Amino acid sequence: MAQAWKCAGLRWAADGPVLTWVGGRRSVLARGKRVAFGVAEGGVRTCVGARGHACPVRAGVTGRSTGARCEECARLDRAHSVAADTMADDPRPYHVYLAWFGPGLVKVGITAYERGSARLLEQGAVCFSWLGHGPLMAARRTEELLRAALGVPDRIPYAHKRAVRAALPESEAERAAEIAGLHARAVALGGWPEALTPEPFRGVDHAGVFGVEGAERGQAAVAEVAELVAGGAIGGELVAAAGPDLHLATERGVVVLDTRLMTGWELLAAEGEPCAVPVRELRRAAGVQEGLF
């Protein structure tokens, strides 16, 4: 019987995206290479547990869940989380950043200083700039200041990010223009916490890293995987990768696979199998703008 591996998610390293597997195995993902796998007949997706601990009951989870956790493990995972505001005593310094995902899609966020730009790669930020750094609560207050005074959100759905990738501006300067202007407006605001050290605007562009820039840009995606299913398979040439998303050139056209849908499944190597998982048409960029403004 073929060896099955349980996916532990996608991570971004200095040289690009890497699929990780329970037990420590890693698969470096290089653009132009084929990525293919399937789910065994009769396979069941199980909860990935919380904070490094296995789910005690190995609860089943729906194929469409990007968290791959049962209700109890999801609660435990949020119970000690900076993102969920349940870890206010974290002594580490934090960065505040502005991230741009496409025209009209800008967010403010925070990330641990020691992580550098890893969080921005994980989120699929096409370009970003730091705003400042300081203690956690000072970073949080700055984030809230921008949300209240400038109307900048702290979350953008992945569906909106995917919808604009095929229509990004060609130059780095054009891609950085929105966050450059927003950075200037943010710096001009009063009420910044004294403990936060401001940082000048320095745009960092990931379009080339993701493969969505100029000559590096592959065909536009036409669909996205809705879920993996027992007995299903997907494979194709990797033409781009951004955040958790892999853009695979399949016989159906370029299909976006959110690798968060892979966690919790036991996966098998696949060869020439056709794309046999549920997919849905990718939203168009115009719909994103109409929905946000």
pLDDT in tens, 239-250: 999 999 999 999
Q: Is 209 helix (H, G, I), strand (E, B) or coil?
A: helix
| The model scores a pTM over 0.85 | yes
Tokens 């501006």: give the residue.
Answer: 169
- Say whether pLDDT at 134 is over 90: yes
Residue 74, C-beta contacts closer than 8 angstroms, at least 6 positions apart: 50, 67
Average pLDDT for residues 275-292, to the nearest whole number? 67
Tens of pLDDT along 48-92? 999 888 999 999 999 999 999 999 999 998 876 666 555 667 889
| pLDDT score for 290 | 38
Please check the confidence at residue 285 and state whether its pLDDT lies above 70: no
Q: Which residues pair with residue 238 across a beta bridge?
A: 248
Q: Is the pLDDT of residue 106 over 50?
A: yes
DSSP state of 100: E
